[in-house]
Chains A and B, each alone.
Chain A
Amino acid sequence: MKINKFIIALLVIFVTLQSCREEYLNEPTPTDSVSPDVVFGSKEGATAFISGILRRTRGQFTATDAGNVGSVYFARTNKGNDVINNGSWFSFDYENDNREPNYRRTVFSWNFPYHIINQVNAFIDGVENSTAIAPADKNQLLGQAYAMRAFFYFELSLEFQHTYTYDPSLPAPPIYTEPNELEGKPMSTQQEMYAFIVEDLEQAIAIGSTQRIDRSYFGKQVAHAIAARVYQVMGNWSKAAENARAAYGGNVASALSPAVYGSGFDDMDEGVEWLLADPQSADQSSYYFLAPHGFFTRTESAYNNTFINRSFVNTFTETDVRNTFLKTTATDYRQWYTTKFKFAFDADVPLIRTAEMILIEAEALYHSNPAAAHDLLYQLQVNRDPAAVKSTNTGAALLEEILLERRKELYGEMGVEWYDAKRLRRGLPRDPWHRINMANNPLVKDDKRFFLKVPQPEIDANPNIDNSVNDNR
């Protein structure tokens, strides 16, 4: 029967299509990307995600002065007295005139950390829910993620409010713990922000591992180092000392490599001092976005627009390995420059070094055991300058000596002058010979210019933050 054949054929068609329908709709997936299942399906996949996030931290986010972690730090460096900007990139930071809601600095310093944090949140979410990664590996991966998240929230807290000790009840940037939220969250408070940062760091320390691929990964030692900074800002000196010590290992001599001064601060693997770095290579570089190297150098072709204040040069002895200053032919503010940082596309950028940890411990000890602090400080000084003589300073003068040592050790790296002035609630006056000496409007104690306004794009897009957030800010 012809008819029956047709009917059977049609029935077959209907049944076939019917039974396959779910599969048909779920089948089309992108072919040029990987799904989260694959990424979080193995330790290697998850590690590749960490590598991807790290690559973003040293990339070209917006513009030459707004590209990566180095840009955040170098903007701070420009705000102080020890370095002098000669115009061009970072000049608005140098003028301390870069905090309005639509300015590039403001928008970058806000968007960039949140961009990284969202990636880290996605990572944490994926690893926590992965059934394929072994528990021990999970701890090692999550330890890094918690430390990264704490690092970027800490930088946000520094950029967008008075220091923690000024008033912990003040608004702080929003806190996100989940990835890919559609709706913007409201502002938090400094108290909530620091509690969250501390929680992340303590967890990173509890489960993290010091084993890492290279010095750009956030191993447990980095978690300790970030914690040392955080507790330093909070004024929790015992915790600051404990974490600083854990970060550098407790043995000053074996934690320092004075020989690296003079070779250009461009290789994270040289010596033992670098705790955290943004590495570069010729084909994976932030190119001319590379701060501070591209801005201090005078010998390689880059922006070459940052000079050293002669009063700062004068604080170094001739025999100090850190005295890497050279003179230009100019006699004005452009007289001195530094050779500490050698520019190349493959120059690594230092983010945290052991010397900073030693000095955090010294500062912390100053509050409980000034003699021990003085001894520790001298150990560092004599490492840098074999001819160093231990000072006779006590009391406030000893603290000032520690702070000066921090500037001499860390200038150009993490914005030490600004960081110390902000957290210790001091002003930041300039010498009169500066290109812009701000004599009429110097940065004073608790100056609002120590932090930025909330960016307008956030206010526009976030239903939980309105224009009033910038009232009196």
Chain B
Amino acid sequence: MKVNLRVLSIGVLFFAGHTLMAQKSKSDTVTKTKDIQEVVLVGGIKLDPAVKLGSYTVVSKENFESTPVASIDEVLNGRVAGLTFSTNGGDPGSTNLITIRGVGSLIGTPNPLYVIDGVVVGKGSDNSQVMESWNPLASIDPNSIEKVAVLKDASATALYGARGANGVIVITTKRGKYGQRTRFNISSDMSVQDIAYDKQRYMNAQEFLQWGGQMLVNSGAFTDLTAATNQFALDNNYDGVTNENWQERVQRSSSVVNTYNVSATGGGENTSFRLGASYYQNEPLVLNSNFDRVSVNAAIDHKIEDKLNLGFNANFTNVERKTYDDGGAYRNPWLTNWYIAPIYPAYIDGVYNQNNLGPGNDFFNPLAIQENDFMKGSIKTFVSSLTAEYQPVKNFYVNSLFGVQYQALDEKTYWDPRIGDGLTYNGYILQSRSSAFDWNWNNSVSYRNIINERHDIQAFIGMEYQEHKYYSLGAQVDDLSQPIPYISFGTEYLQPWEDRLKWTQISYYSRFNYSLDKKYSLSAQVRRDGNSTLGQKKYGNFWSVAGSWTLSNENFIPEFFDNLTLRANYGEIGNIPYADQWYVQYNAFPLLTPTSLYAADQATTIAQPGNPDLRWEISKQYNIGLDFGFMNNAVSASVDVYQRKTVDAIYSYTTAPTAGGPDSYFTNVGDILNRGLEATVTIRPINGEFKWIIDGNFAYNKNTVESISNPDQIDLSGVANSMRAIAEGHLLGEYYTYDWAGVDPTTGEGTFWTDASHTEKTTNRTAAERVWQGKTPFPKYTAGLKSEFRYKNFSLSAFFTGQFEYSVHNRWQNYILGDGSTVNNQIVDALYDSWTPTNTTASNPKQLLNNPSNAAGPSTRWMRDGDHIRLKEARLSYSFGALLKSAGVDNLSVYLRGVNLWLYTFDENLNFDPETNSNAAGASWAGKGLYDYTSPIMRSFSFGVSLDF
């Protein structure tokens, strides 16, 4: 075996499959496609593409295999109509924000629910205590995935009911096959990465000094720019020679990702298996950060006389991650360019420069911090399920599934006593151990029969119980006796913590499907969910109905159509938007905290009043769809229109101070409306030896807050420097800020329109009125387009994604271009595009040292169109196919792949990646489109190899 091959495997299997298919008849092709499209849900219930009732999209395994990205959710970006993806941080393992058909809740994560082999694993929200964030999905080995189904409407998600209202992502892992000789696969991928898009150019030393000189001239203190620049250099203690690029100092020269996979699949008459292992090693750009993941997984199936089928799945991963504070943290290595000016050197006489770093920066040498302090986590995850299907009598089935997920996190922060924050505390260590344990048990009884070859009847009844627990224990010390990162070296003990949290859910569900002649299909579901986090009314009843008419099976429809199906469904589904965030499980409970003393007496006070009326948020959804294909499926397409209305949306409601309790409660306050359209199309213009396949998807979504119980209330997003708000009658998260009116060409001052009428200007930003901008950080239109050419054993594909009609802004705008309000390094616009008496048409106001103007504060000056087109992936592959058969090799394939190769932006002033979010808002919508110097999205080039034998 040639084990030492580096990387790769993707699409090879898929490619080979397609080649095979091409040689077979049309019906075989259809069968094959069906296999891919068929998704098994809970209790043996299948989504059958032949009688498609709901709206869902299946993404197949070749998209996940050997991907350079750390978590599987990122792969879905652009591949599913109606799904928008953006990341809260590009550091591998950071959480992401995914919406399917818009945002349905005012609080909590808008992410869909993830289900892996029947195990309800949550919504990809944060489990970490110390690290900026931890995305549980980064624990899943993408190479073990067979397919991912994205369920979008009520008829599809109703089976998952509660927690499924934002959509459900059903992940099926690979399994063995009965009666197949054992096959092995070895694959490897090596990627080199750098920053995908960053047009912010910071000033170098000479520019920085000149900017300072210009400020002194602008203030009238100097008339000669050279003299002013010299004075500024002197005032800032410039050594006359340094020109430091601090960002490069805290980075590696390049980032490298390696993936190695090995698997074996096979099976006998009654037993089949798959065993797999993989190693994923990511060295990100930031110095000393890393992400290593080891995974092993196994799937075993066993059957007894076709009456009893047993299955077992196990996935274990260990991630060793070294990360850092990003986002708003002062020690964020991605902010280095801003907070230390290029006129200060990293080293003086071979040792760290600690005392000449600019005002307020003493001992905060970013290089010293990156090299000596650390933040790391070790995350062990076990996801496993046991399934059984038993057929006691003909047509009756009993299904049972028991799933567990256990994730243990061991995290540590260390601040060296000699530098930065550590100096203040004489060293600091924070150590946390936490674990999340989830299990669910699902049992159902079903009747499935086809009568007279015409009536396909399926009826299910079942129940599911889920339990979710979180445990966290933490200790912290400072004043270290020696600079060694172990708790035992602390001489002062700070407040430790211990938390134990738990919530549970019980569901009863039923489903009835009927299909006549595969022409007319009907489905109805009723379920009852109870959730422990709610108030007195813990249970809710939910339902959905769906129907479809396969016109292509009617005689009056011309043969021209391979498929023509009309679908419609309606459903009402419950949702608990906060359920996937820890520490908010007990909102419904009144609590008193016995944590203080009064003199020597125990003292207790109200911690929270509790809201016993807290009840289910309900998502009322309809979907109408049309699937069609013609010319031997040279063209096949789907169009869906939907409405998703959330009623009784749960929100953190600001209470009147006179009510005397905490500032806000979770309560059911409003209605949110999502409306949209989705279209997907596959075209095969050329389908001979040379093939051309085009896959496209397009989506439109409009997301409005229809009502809030206090209609006058306008809630600005609580994230600092955000400009978005929630208010009745406006788009969800609509920009609501001051209207920038440009720079006054005569005075050089920034001006603002006093109100929406744009008749009067003021130089005092806060004296103006905020104006609704009609834009949100969520794209109104999204699109994906993949074009693939195949010729013999070659394949070449390009995949583009686009997002349109949305706005983004930089949370640090007034710092990186602060008009002189702080003397930190600036982007070059501060020098080249700011007002001077000779440059009166500049975009930015006159720069003044310690500028008292508030013109740099949040306003439309900083809003940018996020609209963009991205070359998400391009790939060239070659498969040797049967050429090496004689050597015992079933297949060998090699590929080259690029990810995020190119980005076109429509706003020429957009200088940061429009797909990044802030991590400051937790998992909620408020982080969306708010650029926050979290780790950037990466561009990567890969080479890979896959060998089957």
Which chain A residues have a beta carbon within 8 Å of chain B's beta carbons?
3, 6-7, 10, 13-14, 17-18, 21, 24-36, 39, 44-45, 47-49, 51-56, 107, 110-111, 114-119, 121-122, 173-174, 176, 179-185, 213-214, 279, 281, 284, 455, 457-458, 460-463, 465
Contact = CB atoms under 8 A, between A and B. Distances in A.
A35 B392 contact: no
B611 interface: yes
B694 to A, nearest CB: 49
Nearest to A6: B390
Interface in B587-609: 589-594, 596-599, 601-607, 609
B585 interface: yes
Given A35-B591, A114-B660, A180-B609, A27 B504 contact: yes
Size bracket, chain B contacts: 35 or more
B398 A10 contact: yes
A28 B605 contact: no
A182 B604 contact: no
Interface SS, A side: helix
Given A30-B589, A32-B499, A176-B658, A21 B530 contact: yes
A55 B501 CA distance: 28
Contact of B598 (A25, A54, A174, A461): A54
Given A34-B592, A35-B591, A49 B604 contact: yes
Contact of A17 (B463, B505, B593, B667): B463
A458 B531 contact: no
Contact of B606 (A10, A51, A118): A118
Interface in B653-712: 653-661, 665, 667, 710, 712
10 nearest A-B residue pairs (beta carbon): A118-B660, A184-B656, A180-B609, A51-B598, A462-B656, A52-B603, A52-B605, A51-B603, A33-B591, A48-B602
B862 to A, nearest CB: 26
Given A10-B400, A25-B504, A460-B713, A33 B659 contact: no
Contacts of A121: 660
Contacts, number: 188
Contacts of B665: 182
A448 to B, nearest CB: 21
B532 A28 contact: yes
B425 interface: no
B18 interface: no
Contacts of A13: 400, 443
Interface of B: 308, 390, 392, 398, 400, 441, 443, 463, 465, 467, 498-506, 530-533, 538, 585-586, 589-594, 596-599, 601-607, 609-611, 653-661, 665, 667, 710, 712-713
Interface SS, B side: strand
A461 to B, nearest CB: 5
A157 to B, nearest CB: 13
Contact of B658 (A26, A45, A185): A185
B653 A51 contact: no
Given A29-B586, A462-B656, A213 B601 contact: yes
A180 B665 CA distance: 10
Contacts of A39: 592, 604
Contacts of A48: 594, 601-604
Contacts of A32: 498-500, 593
B604 A458 contact: no
A285 to B, nearest CB: 12
B269 to A, nearest CB: 19
A53 B605 contact: yes
Given A25-B530, A33-B591, 19 more contacts: A17-B463, A27-B532, A28-B502, A29-B586, A30-B585, A30-B586, A30-B591, A33-B592, A34-B592, A51-B604, A55-B603, A107-B657, A114-B658, A117-B660, A179-B606, A182-B665, A185-B656, A457-B657, A462-B656
A135 to B, nearest CB: 22
A24 B465 CA distance: 9
A14 B443 contact: yes
Contacts of A26: 532
A115 B308 CA distance: 63
A463 B607 CA distance: 25
A25 B538 contact: yes
Given A36-B590, A52-B598, A458 B506 contact: no
A364 B505 CA distance: 66
Contacts of B443: 10, 13-14, 17
